[in-house]
Amino acid sequence: MRSRRSAEFAAIAVAAALLLGVTVSGASGQAGSAEPTPPGRDAAPKGVAGQTIDRVKQAARQAGDALTRVPCLAPKGGGKSIGSLPHVARKLIAGQPVVIVAFGSSSTQGYGSTSPANNYPNRLAERLRRHYPGADISVINSGKGGEDAPEMMARLKATVLDAKPDLVIWQVGTNAILRNLDPAETGRLVEEGIAAIQATGSDVVLVDPQYAPRVNERAESAGKMIAALGRLAELRRVAIFPRFQVMKDWHEKQALPFENFVIADGLHMNDWGYACFAQLLADDIIRSVGQIKLGVTVPSDVRAYRPM
């Protein structure tokens, strides 16, 4: 009995390692497929370890094929690039470890995804590691559901600054809209946070609210919040990923129904939405680093992020 339990625990440990490989390393997004049952032979009942491995494989398949069902296209019309991420670029060029902190609320935490492998920070890590296979890149998920600027500022030091990040991707503003918080006060708190992050030498990318039915019900508040974050990005000279405009493009210009990228709650993204968001963000980070490597002059006073 003891040897059987030991074997099961060992198998579970292997499964956990596989899951970490999908979630953190994720070079291909797939962990293989189950062995087919030989013809004429019934499949044997699976123990805890076998069921765990099957769940790992299923999560990997879902992560791998999210974008094969619907292609992830850049917004039509293009626009400005992310500009310069000098700290990240210097670290990658020098072959030094890069730490990225994804800071935000439930859509950073990954609410709506079918597994941790499918949240945007893990998809971002997967894509960056695939492009820089020799680099030591860590993406820390510091998302916490239900929060906005007041709660985030209370944990800024412990969950962001203490990690000594090279890049902070700060998703903020959606819960402020839903809670009718003052956009000006949100802007004041976010500006204070950006100043603290910049003082450490880290690059910053802001992410504004999502284009989704529940946000669109408060269109006036959403417009004010998006405008406030845009002005703040100009003032502090940081990048901003215009998530609202990108998702609006998916719906209006690419004719994708909301159910293609938003779950049934009308607010949070699904696996495809997170995967496409991560792809667009990763591709422009890669483009920015590539320009710096080639010696191309990239404005350091970034005014806005616009996926190419």
Q: Is the pLDDT of residue 245 over 90?
A: yes
Digit-coded pLDDT (tens) for 153-182: 999 999 999 999 999 999 999 999 999 999
What integer pLDDT is reported at residue 41 of this predicted model?
Answer: 40
Instruction: Report which of residues 13 and 156 the model is more confident about.
Output: 156
Backbone angles phi, psi at 166, to 5 degrees: -95, -25
CB 66 within 8 A of CB 30: no
Question: Which residues, in sequence order, are CB contacts of 73 under 8 Å at separation 6+?
Answer: 254
Q: How confident is the model at residue 197 (pLDDT cuts 50, 70, 90)?
A: very high
Q: How far apart are CA 271 and CA 284, in angstroms?
A: 20
The pLDDT > 90 percentage for the chain reads 61
Q: How confident is the model at residue 19 (pLDDT cuts 50, 70, 90)?
A: very low
Q: What is the domain partition of the chain in residue ranges?
A: 2-28+46-68, 77-293
Radius of gyration over every alpha carbon of the chain, rounded to an integer in angstroms = 21
Question: Which residues, in sequence order, are CB contacts of 244 under 8 Å at separation 6+?
Answer: 208, 209, 210, 211, 215, 222, 226
What integer pLDDT is reported at residue 258 of this predicted model?
Answer: 98
- CATH code reported for the domain at 77-293: 3.40.50.1110
Q: Is the pLDDT of residue 11 over 50?
A: no
Least confident of 40-49, 50-59, 245-254, 299-308: 299-308
Burial (CB count within 10 angstroms: exposed 0-12, middle 13-18, buried 19+), residue 29: buried
Mapped onto helix, strand or coil, the DSSP state of residue 141 is strand
What integer pLDDT is reported at residue 69 of this predicted model?
Answer: 65
Write down the residue that tokens 């974008």 correspond to: 67
Write b or e for each residue in 157-196: b if 16 or more Cβ atoms lie within 10 A of its Cβ, otherwise e: eebbbebebbbbbbbbbbbbbbeebebeebbebbbebbeb
Least confident of 16-25, 122-131, 208-217: 16-25
Mapped onto helix, strand or coil, the DSSP state of residue 119 is coil
CB 240 within 8 A of CB 207: yes
